[in-house]
Structure 1
């Protein structure tokens, strides 16, 4: 009995305080902690009763955290549920909104190709658009290898910022344009070097679909007559058939590995490609016409870069006379066809002959000619339309040293936009100080924008908008110490 613990003796005696056999004796400090806890609860109840008398509401909070109290009607105290305490505050409008996924290559160095039948004015258009000297002759396939150049995107906002700051360096946004050889009927089967030319289209991210709507006996047409509707349908058919030809081997390979081979990781991709085949081959619809692709499906589509997934802008090449008077028998028919078979796509008329003439004039003579004929060049509109079709936009950094337009994809968040300037800006991103171009122009200066309360500090979830003027704040990442 001398070695028996108190708890065991208590249990043997049947005492109320006895512990179960073999249990360790409870330390005295545990009972002291419980007494202190009871005293704290009594003090809190007294505080609540006092607060209720004063018309105040209290919340139980973790130690060290305090919230301001507010008056309420003099009534009984209403407890707050734990779910209400755990609820996060509502997000600001626009914060954390996920942009819709985009079909196509990632990045900002995207290209748009000039596509059409031979002898419709593609090389002439490319030359006047980019101020290049690509071969443009009156015979089919004068272009074999693609010509590539870039053209600055005209923007009055950029011009205004340059005029205001008078910077030492001016860097606008650029659109990369590729002149691709003409396609003919049967190109998907290799007719007229079609396979090579279609591969050039595959390397682009968007299409300027150029068609001819002018009569000229001196310029031959591969189909023997001018019919822009027929020409548009030929190009669409060739792109569609090439995609159908691409899908077959892809599905066969996936079926061999995912279905017969039992590779579960590739089974979702196989199912997605079957859906693409149903859409393109069975329903005869371009990939871009389906608006129900989810993120995973678009991820698979972006691996293969189908020709019919590329955005398209329709350019109608008119004679100088028709363009100036804004009349042509084909324009209405082309617009009706596009609205029916490619809804939402832009149709832009222009005149290659007029643009070539304007290019040869001096700036003063060009202005006089345009004013005399009450017309204007279509090139600025075409460049902006191509830039927007690629889902590109830009923000500005502006100051006396440099005014620059930084190209980004639509839906880019502030840290990634900062990374376009330097990777350290993205890694150490703190905030983006943003003002809208319209506010800057209206108020007249940065200080005036701040005084008007229109200068915003945006965090990581801010989606950069086209034309934002941004100043980024960041921490320089610390370099690892050398051993």
Structure 2
């Protein structure tokens, strides 16, 4: 039976770490363009050679999250300091078939995936005899299946290990026992349920789990519980003409196996060419002449959103800053991003809605129009809120 649906009225507990400092890993087979993509999107210089396992140790970098609201606030306040929101991206070495059993240094690579919170799954969608394919020929659906099967196999093995280590003790408890025993039995039963779900060929993230089940799942750091955005690496020619023979096949596979997941075509070769142009004006000119703007802003925003992240703003003459937090966070959780003392002694929050501020043209005009909102510390902060935290200790942040 499939997992039970979430009870209506409950506050949904999200899969994944309850943190604002979340990371997304670039995953795929060797030689599909992962490191080229990483180098271009982060302006890094990770080796991107034409042979398997060129990348061994994961490489981490941060990229700014594009936001026109942040740009407008900077133009409005003209602050001395400007700090946008960031997304942390990690380049992970290529997986191969059998990685879950240790093939191709697979255990180390799967451990790297376990340490991230979301996945950019890069799949190769171009033919090039000069770029070796680890399986000999380009076949995207086979490559997609390979990665997903390895992640599921690893999750199944991890869950089986837990079950084998605890089954005898659970059986000894019988039908009675203490409150602690009942808690252990409930956790064991959830783990068995999740193991059966994954072993049937389904990702954990595609199940409907109760809050109690999600809390137990989150303690296992399962690979298939992580949100996935698919990035199809096409040739520069195909990207610019917006046509590629592999894309319909990839889209069909996603719709059949992981409905709802997003697919974004990009060209690592073309993005690398644009990334090499340092002057923004010249870069935009080249992109306009070729008829293909960079898709990186869309990829970054999509990855950020897939992690259930959003940001709020503090704005003034000294600084305009975008602060990252999870969707559904309370004002106290948001304030804790800035300083624990502010969160611990928070009294109230002055909130300006971005659209209201933009329409009014200034803070004074917004306040005169009665559009400044006062919120309590347990209120939910919303994406794009411009806030002033009022703290009992006098440590407020505007």
How far off its partner does 1:454 sit?
A: 2.0
- Work out the CA distance in 2 between the residues paired with 1:191 and 1:438: 53
Per the normalisation by structure 2, the TM-score is 0.93
- Work out the CA distance in 2 between the residues paired with 1:203 and 1:436: 35
- Say if 2:192 is the partner of 1:268: no
- Say if 2:57 is the partner of 1:141: no
- Say if 2:39 is the partner of 1:123: no
Q: Does the Cα contact within 8 Å between 1:259 and 1:267 map onto a contact in 2? A: no
- Work out the CA distance in 2 between the residues paired with 1:419 and 1:147: 28
SS class of match (1:304): coil
- Work out the CA distance in 2 between the residues paired with 1:257 and 1:163: 63
Partner of 2:324: 407
- Work out the CA distance in 2 between the residues paired with 1:469 and 1:159: 14
- Work out the CA distance in 1 between the residues paired with 2:35 and 2:207: 32
Q: Does the Cα contact within 8 Å between 1:115 and 1:122 map onto a contact in 2? A: yes
- Work out the CA distance in 1 between the residues paired with 2:250 and 2:275: 28
Which structure 1 residue ranges, 5 or more long, are not aligned?
A: 1-96, 479-483
**Which among 365, 370, 377 is matched to residue 282 of structure 2?**
365
Q: Does the Cα contact within 8 Å between 2:41 and 2:275 map onto a contact in 1? A: no
CA-based RMSD of the aligned residues comes to 1.5
Partner of 1:165: 77
CA deviation map 1:197-241 (0-9, x unaligned): 111100111000000101111101011111111111110111111
Q: Tell which deviates more after alignment, 106-115 or 309-318.
A: 106-115
- Say if 2:152 is the partner of 1:219: no
Q: How does 1:360-439 map to 2 (within 5 A)?
A: 360-361=276-277, 362-439=279-356
- Work out the CA distance in 2 between the residues paired with 1:304 and 1:285: 17
- Work out the CA distance in 2 between the residues paired with 1:192 and 1:225: 19
Q: Tell which deviates more after alignment, 360-369 or 117-126.
A: 360-369
Q: How does 1:33-44 map to 2 (within 5 A)?
A: none
How far off its partner does 1:460 sit?
A: 2.7
- Work out the CA distance in 2 between the residues paired with 1:193 and 1:278: 27
**Which among 97, 105, 109 is matched to residue 197 of structure 1?**
109
How far off its partner does 1:453 sit?
A: 2.5
CA deviation map 1:332-369 (0-9, x unaligned): 12112111211111100111111111112232321211
Q: Does the Cα contact within 8 Å between 1:254 and 1:266 map onto a contact in 2? A: no
How far off its partner does 1:99 sit?
A: 4.0
**Which among 330, 336, 346 is matched to residue 246 of structure 2?**
330
Q: Does the Cα contact within 8 Å between 1:247 and 1:273 map onto a contact in 2? A: yes
How far off its partner does 1:106 sit?
A: 1.7
- Work out the CA distance in 1 between the residues paired with 2:348 and 2:276: 48
Q: How does 1:194-343 map to 2 (within 5 A)?
A: 194-261=106-173, 263-281=181-199, 283-291=200-208, 293-343=209-259
Q: Does the Cα contact within 8 Å between 1:258 and 1:264 map onto a contact in 2? A: no
- Work out the CA distance in 2 between the residues paired with 1:403 and 1:99: 32
- Say if 2:86 is the partner of 1:174: yes
Partner of 1:474: 391
- Work out the CA distance in 2 between the residues paired with 1:477 and 1:304: 41
Higher relative contact order (CA 8 A, sep 6+): 2
CA deviation map 1:229-256 (0-9, x unaligned): 1111110111111111111111122223
Which of structures 1 and 2 has the bigger CA Rg? 1
- Work out the CA distance in 2 between the residues paired with 1:277 and 1:216: 40
Partner of 2:96: 184
- Work out the CA distance in 1 between the residues paired with 2:54 and 2:195: 35
- Work out the CA distance in 1 between the residues paired with 2:295 and 2:221: 30
How far off its partner does 1:374 sit?
A: 2.1
How far off its partner does 1:180 sit?
A: 0.5
CA deviation map 1:161-220 (0-9, x unaligned): 111111111111111111000001111111111111111100111000000101111101
- Work out the CA distance in 2 between the residues paired with 1:231 and 1:476: 56
Partner of 1:5: none
Partner of 1:21: none
- Work out the CA distance in 1 between the residues paired with 2:266 and 2:132: 20
How far off its partner does 1:98 sit?
A: 6.0
Partner of 2:360: 443
Q: Does the Cα contact within 8 Å between 1:188 and 1:198 map onto a contact in 2? A: yes
Q: Does the Cα contact within 8 Å between 1:99 and 1:411 map onto a contact in 2? A: no
